[in-house]
Structure 1
C-alpha cells in the first residue's frame, strides 16, 4: 500500500531522515519507534505531504506522492492525527469532526461516519457540543483520532497518540487503534511508548538519528534484548 524508497528529508542543512526505506501493507498496523529526534514525526509529515523529501520516493497504491500537496494526499486516502493533537480549541467537538470531513461531498455517508466515531469514542458523544479546548487531554486525543477518521482514510497516520496520557487512557487509545484496524483501516503509528506500540503492531521499524536501525515482526522486536534495553526499560 505504502512504500518509501531511500527517502532523505532535511530542515535546512540538518538531515532529519537519511535514506529511509520501508513498506506498509494493506490491513497492517506498523509502528515506528525510536528516541526523540530519531526522525519518526518527520517521516509521517513527509508521507502526508507537509514536508517535501530532498531525495527518494514515496508511493501510495502505486502512485508517487512525494511533493504532492497535502490536500490531494488526503483525497487519495491518507489522514494524519498529528503530534500534540492540534484540535481546534474554540470549536465544538461536532465542529471539529465536521472539519475532518471538509473535503467530502457525500453528506449521508459523513453523517454515518460521525455516528460511527461517536460509537467508537462514547466520551465524544457526551461532549459533542462542548468546546474542544475545555476537554481533558485524553478526550482531545480521542477527538484528534476521530477527526482524522472522518476523512474515511485507507491509511491512518498516528503521531504519538499516547503522549501525556494516564496509563488507563493509553490502554484505551491502543485498544481503539486495534478496533480501527479491525474495521478496515491500515494504521501507521509513531510512538515513544515502544512497549505499547509493539503490543498492537504487526511489524515495526526502529529509527536512530534519522536512519533505519532495525526492522521486523513486532513480536520479535519486543523480545530483542537490544530493543528491551534501549526502549523498553529492560
Structure 2
C-alpha cells in the first residue's frame, strides 16, 4: 500500500493535551515469529481510535500487549505519561485500561450478574461500582432482562454486550475493544457501534480493533492501518475512508 502521496497536514490532535496512551516503537514476537514490528501510535483523551488490517496483521497482539498479557521485545507502552511495559494485567486494569477481548471470553457457567461482578474485581468503591453497574445495564437493557441467566445460554450478540459491559465495570479511562462486531447480525452490529459512541460520550477513550473497517472508520476520529505487523498508513478516519488504497483493501472497493 503506497503511503507516498503528499497530503495537507491534518489538524493537531488532542487539542494541546498529551496522549493518554502511547506505543513507542514496540515489537512483539511469538518465538521466532515477529507479530508486530516497530509500531508507534498515540491515543488522545476522548478519542475513538481504530486499528484496522487483515487477519494476522497484529491487531489483537497490539491490544494484548497494551493490557499486559504480552510483553514487547522492544519498545515501550506509556499510559498517562508513565511506562506500563511489563506491568501485570490485573495492575493495568487497576490503572485504568480495560480490555474486551476477541471471542468475548465470558464466563459461560456464571450468570450475567456474576460476570459483571468479576469486571469490578480490582475495585473497592462499592457505591461507585453500583452506579457503574446501573449505567451498563442502561447501556445494554438486554442484560438487565438476562441478569440471572447463565451467560453461556445467551445469543452471540448478548454475550458481546456482556463482554463490553464487564470491561466497563473496571471503570476504564481507556477501553480496548477487540472485534466487537465479529459474528453478529447486521442489526446487532449497528447496536454495538452506537453503544461505542455512547461510551465515548460518557468520557471513556476507546481503542478499537475491528475487521468491519467501514463501520469502524465511520465512528472513529483517527485510524491506523497495520499490514503484516507493520504500520502502513495513518490519518483522520474520515480521510482514510476516502483513501483509494484503503477502499480497495478493506472496504470492498466501494
Q: TM-score range, shorter-chain basis?
A: over 0.9
Q: Does 1:174 align with 2:193?
A: yes
**Partner Cα distance (1:121, 1:113) in 2:** 12
Deviation (angstroms), 1:109: 1.0
| Aligned counterpart, 1:124 | 143
Residue 212 of structure 2 corresponds to 193
Q: Runs in 1 of length 4+ with deviation above 3 angstroms?
A: none
Q: Deviations over 1:132-179 (max 9, x none)?
A: 000000000000000000000000000000000000000000000000
1:4 corresponds to which residue? 23
Which residue is 2:173 aligned to?
A: 154
Distance 1:166 1:224 in 2: 27
Provide the C-alpha distance between the structure 1 equivalents of 2:112 and 2:72, rounded to a whole number of angstroms: 34
Distance between the aligned counterparts of 1:152 and 1:62, measured in 2? Answer: 19
Deviations 1:88-122 (A, max 9, x none): 00000000000000111011111111111100000
Residues in 1 aligned to 2:41 and 2:122: alpha-carbon distance in whole angstroms:
29
1:134 to 140, 153, 160: 153
Find out whether 1:95 has 2:129 as its counterpart: no
Q: With structure 1 as the length reference, what TM-score do the two structures score?
A: 1.00
Q: How many angstroms apart in 2 are the aligned matches of 1:109 and 1:65?
A: 25
Which ranges in structure 1 are unaligned for 5 or more consecutive residues?
A: none
In 1, Cα distance between the equivalents of 2:173 and 2:100?
Answer: 14
- Residue 228 of structure 1 corresponds to 247
| Pairwise CA distance, 1:229 | 0.4
Alignment counterpart, residue 228 of structure 2, candidates 189, 198, 209:
209
User: Residue 36 of structure 1: CA displacement?
Assistant: 0.3
TM-score normalized by the length of structure 2: 0.92
| 1:111 equivalent in alignment to 2:117 | no
Q: Secondary structure at the match of 1:207?
A: strand
Matched, 1:16 2:26: no
C-alpha separation in 2, matches of 1:173 and 1:217? 22
Matched length: 234
**Corresponding residue for residue 84 of structure 1:** 103
Q: How far apart are residue 56 of structure 1 and its match?
A: 0.3
Query: What SS is found at the alignment partner of 1:5?
Result: strand
* TM-superposition CA deviations, 1:24-57 (whole Å, max 9, x none): 0000000000000000000000000000000001
